[in-house]
A = this chain, B = another copy of it.
């Protein structure tokens, strides 16, 4: 007659069950709350601009301590999902992650992951032609005016300090990214531009000759954009970024050579 214990599963099944368990990670209460609030925000329970419950209300609802609630709010703030203001009628307001926040995150990742300059250049080579193409297709008159304005300043700055030239150059690319009317492409491009700017500043490779070539390339692209010739704009951007990649590579090679025999 079968006993109760004889009905239990075999040792093999127990081993399987053990393996199935795996490592268990216990999240912190602040992370759990942050996650749940994030879900509610994404599901529209709290819309943009609306106030989350006050800290003390969250304490009452969750039975967590105020410290844990505040840590959860700091997490959401770091993700750009809420902004908190003090004072009466203050509180945590649901907001959209800003451009600069995402750019910073991309920058942090790239530094941490030791993304090589080559990878940055490749990504730029992927994005820049599409940005030029779209800018030619979608630009408004305001976009065009702004690009032209920066172009003029850029031409005037050929002989000025390198930092000013680099900054104006960045502005030009930023205006171009605006003109393409694609928020995601814009941020990707600007994050990469920011990362490459650091390299450029270190390298200091913006010689007079390089600057002149850059301005001419910009002008050619701008002409195509003004004419609304998307295909030509794309092709010219392709050539521009390829030329830039070559110059940068040569500069980096030079640096390596220098370091090996100073």
Q: What residues make up the interface of A, taking CB atoms closer than 8 Å to B?
A: 30, 42, 48, 67, 70-71, 74-75, 77-81, 96-97, 101-102, 105-106, 108-113, 115, 119-120, 122-123, 125-127, 129-131, 134, 182-185, 187-188, 192
Considering the chains assembled together, what is the distance between the CA atoms of A188 and B111 in angstroms?
16
Cβ–Cβ contact A182 & B119, under 8 A: yes
Given contact pairs A120-B184, A130-B125, A42 touches B78 in the complex (Cβ within 8 A): no
Provide the bound-state CA to CA distance between A240 and B48, in Å.
37
Whether A108 contacts B79 by the Cβ 8 Å rule is yes
User: Contact at B70–A78, with CB atoms within 8 Å?
Assistant: no
Q: Which residues in B have their C-beta under 8 angstroms from that of A119?
A: 182-185
- Integer count of this chain's copies in the complex: 2
- How many whole Å from A221's CB to the nearest CB in chain B? 16
Main SS of the interface on chain A? helix
A78-B74, A122-B130 are contacts. A187–B109 as well, Cβ < 8 Å?
yes
The contact sample of 23 A-B pairs, CB cut-off 8 A, is: A67-B70, A74-B74, A75-B75, A75-B78, A78-B79, A79-B108, A80-B112, A96-B112, A97-B105, A97-B108, A97-B109, A97-B112, A101-B109, A102-B109, A115-B183, A115-B184, A120-B184, A122-B130, A123-B130, A126-B126, A126-B127, A126-B130, A188-B188
Residues on B with C-beta less than 8 A from A79 are 78, 105, 108
Q: Which residues of the other chain, B, contact A185 by a CB distance below 8 angstroms? A: 119, 122-123, 126
Besides A48-B112, A70-B71, 11 new A-B residue pairs in contact (Cβ under 8 A), listed by A number:
A30-B74, A67-B70, A79-B105, A80-B112, A122-B130, A122-B134, A123-B184, A123-B185, A123-B188, A126-B127, A188-B188
**What residues on B are CB-neighbors of A112 within 8 Å?**
48, 80-81, 96-97
